[in-house]
Chains A and B, each alone.
Chain A
Amino acid sequence: MKIDNSLPLEYSTGQNQINILGFWIFLGAEIMLFGTLFAAYFTLVNRTGSGPSGADIFEIAPVLIETFVLLTSSFTIGLAIHAMRLGKKKAMLAFFGITLLLGLGFLSVEIFEFNHFYHVGAGLQTSAFTAILLTTLGTHGAHVTFGLFWGLSIVLQVRKRGLTPETANKSFIFSLYWHFLDVVWIFIFSFIYMKGLM
């Protein structure tokens, strides 16, 4: 394995560079996936049948909390990668931990929100609108849930093996994933919640 020391650890081998490029290509596919969900959402948003509309069930408080928590977690994972590049393992793990806790906070609020939707009569089978709403939000939430377990396993690996080209590469790729989830949330926040509340 040829290690190029002029580059940050996560890019230091040919394998690492290809891993990162490969992950960007995966994120490209994810952009298209969420594109189809948004296309379906915009088509079905007014097909509420006898069920509630977005303006009836959306509440600003949980949305504000979710947005702020996810934006902050995107910032802290960026700081984690910055600390990793400085070789500060402890600071990196601390930022990683904060990120995962914020992710857990986001998920808790989202589960609370889904529960609220269910109780005001907006279940998955109520109307075309609620079905696509919960599918879109749920796909994003499922990504966050997966990210929590993925991030946790990376924290454990870094603690055990230290910062090596492999663990640094995995951490960097996780940070790309986490930032991407934040990007998706920005679009959900703008074109599902804000548009629905307008």
Chain B
Amino acid sequence: MSELFPFKQVMGFVFSLILTAVALMVYFLDMPFTTGMTVLLITAFIQAALQLVVFMHAGETGDRGSIYTNLYYAIFIALATVFGTLLTMIWGYI
């Protein structure tokens, strides 16, 4: 039975629950906006990386170079879209 619950994945799950609990503190402790956003940015990106590496086995095979290149490219485009939009639509007018 225990072989069905590998240590690495159980720890990954526990860690993801802890990260969620930390993110929830933002709500329950009434943090100021800047502090709260910093906490959320950190927990969300660690959580995403955890899923990709522990659960999705991103670096497991000979294709790891292609997989990571593709991922970094996609994340770069997504971040450029989000922050480029914020810059042109919101921050540029403040």
Contact = CB atoms under 8 A, between A and B. Distances in A.
B44 A190 contact: yes
A171 to B, nearest CB: 13
Interface stretch (A79-87, A101-109, A112-120): A79-87
Contacts of B17: 71
Given A34-B78, A179-B51, A75 B4 contact: no
Contact of A43 (B47, B79, B90): B90
Query: Chain A binding site: helix, strand, loop or mixed by DSSP?
Result: helix
Given A79-B5, A195-B37, A21 B16 contact: no
Band of interface residues on B: 35 or more
Query: Which of A7, A38, A183, A191: most chain B CB closer than 10 A?
Result: A183
Given A82-B6, A179-B56, A190-B43, A39 B81 contact: yes
Interface in B68-94: 70-71, 73-75, 77-79, 81-82, 84-86, 89-90
B26 A20 contact: no
Interface string B27-58: 10001010011001101100110011011101
Interface of A: 7, 11, 17, 20-21, 24-25, 27-29, 31-32, 34-36, 38-40, 42-43, 60, 64, 67-68, 71-72, 74-75, 77-79, 82-83, 86, 88, 91, 175-176, 179-180, 182-183, 186-187, 189-191, 194-195, 197-198
Given A28-B70, A198-B37, 18 more contacts: A17-B63, A20-B61, A31-B71, A31-B77, A32-B77, A34-B78, A35-B81, A35-B82, A39-B85, A71-B13, A78-B9, A78-B55, A79-B5, A79-B9, A183-B51, A194-B27, A195-B40, A198-B26
